[in-house]
Structure 1
């Protein structure tokens, strides 16, 4: 049985998480830097002219934005790997499982799972929207080569609300911060239903997301899964502040 956790140190380039459909990551960073610079200037001016209220307000907002950005980058570049290494390690995989990653992106979680599957297979599916910088199947495959697991993974292009897999195919289904990108509650529910459909009896499911995780938990219970749990993943997966935490929903399909 494989009981160790995957290595947190990564060799690949996994980009930065975020919504870059309208404004690129570079422009978002430049806009934030400009706002912080203006606020710092206001803080200094407030001190110079003796307006402590202006200095205090501008300084607090500037500090808040810097801390928000720092937390966001930490979660995207470091924190999610630490958290998922623990999640995958706790699953105590045997090493021969078939694993599906819903919305795999550049492979951050997919390839960590693949490290634990010397005799198994990890399949990633995505529509490759700009939810990460440089998101593409080729980027995922390059990362798989760098992590030494290219022979253990497959990458598919597809919609997770209509999975192109047969019933009872996978032993484990994982997903990291994907379902909230689906526009409607009905389609998010369809994604949960599809995950359960392709999960084998006795298989497990672990979905991390920002929004509506209480609905995922409720739907999994309606579908008859057991040991359905929901928990906060802590500060390593805060998206800017504790007001934007990530929660994990886990469950097991009845045999």
Structure 2
């Protein structure tokens, strides 16, 4: 019997890998201390259990939970299939590829600075994941700063960002990224940002649009203290909504 071709699956890596490593190490250290010391054994055992649970929750979110959350987010966005979509801080392409699957006549463009905030974060990994998902012909990636996007105004029907904008160190920088997202978004287009809940509340206040929506335990990074919320905004520009998006240079 001749074996068929080997199928590969996309691999999106682990978000901020030092964090679950540190949580797990702290859980093991607390458990070890609890077995040695009679004084304080119960608090140490409880601490170990909490840290171990947090590690498991973190890994579930980064490997499965966020993928399921974005499937729901994109389903709710009700894409036609011919849109131009931009993903800010695309990383290894979890959101980018999920969106591209919904764009048989469209285009999904990802931008990133390819920092070490995600394991194996590089453009080649993103393109490999797009190929593994069968959507390589719909995906482009670029090295670009989300605070100074290299695209004309009104270039995209949808702009997404998952756990990226909050990594900009200053409030002014985050505000520039939000302004750039709005600038390249077509009138009537959708802006979808998932970030830690406190940041999303500030984005909504700054833009004076949208109501943050909690994405639930499946998008907790170790626990409810690092819960992720979504900001969904419809660009209310007064230009005609049926104006086609301008071409995006390759």
Normalization by structure 2: what TM-score?
0.87
- Distance in 1 separating the partners of 2:231 and 2:81: 22
Check the 8 A contact 1:36/1:66 in 2, yes or no.
Answer: yes
Summarize the Cα distance change of 1:191–1:32 in structure 2 as closer, same or farther, 3 Å threshold.
Answer: closer
- Distance in 2 separating the partners of 1:214 and 1:37: 35
Matching residue of 2:13? 15
Matching residue of 1:102? 88
- Displacement of 1:33 in angstroms is 4.4
SS where residue 81 of structure 1 aligns?
A: helix
Structure 1 runs (4+) deviating above 6 angstroms are none
- Is 1:128–2:128 an aligned residue pair? no
Gaps of 5+ in 2: 1-7, 239-250
- Distance in 1 separating the partners of 2:31 and 2:79: 50
Check the 8 A contact 1:192/1:219 in 2, yes or no.
Answer: no
- Is 1:156–2:167 an aligned residue pair? no
Normalization by structure 1: what TM-score?
0.85
Question: How many pairs are equivalent?
Answer: 229
Check the 8 A contact 1:220/1:251 in 2, yes or no.
Answer: no
User: Over residues 138-169 of structure 1, what are the superposed CA-to-partner deviations in whole Å (9 max), with x where a residue is unaligned?
Assistant: 00000000000000011010000000000001
Gaps of 5+ in 1: 1-9
Describe how 1:59-78 pairs up with structure 2 within 5 A.
59-78=45-64
Identify which of 171, 179, 198 aligns with 1:193: 179
Check the 8 A contact 2:24/2:51 in 1, yes or no.
Answer: no
- Distance in 2 separating the partners of 1:83 and 1:209: 12
- Distance in 2 separating the partners of 1:75 and 1:39: 24
- Distance in 2 separating the partners of 1:35 and 1:93: 44
- Displacement of 1:128 in angstroms is 0.4
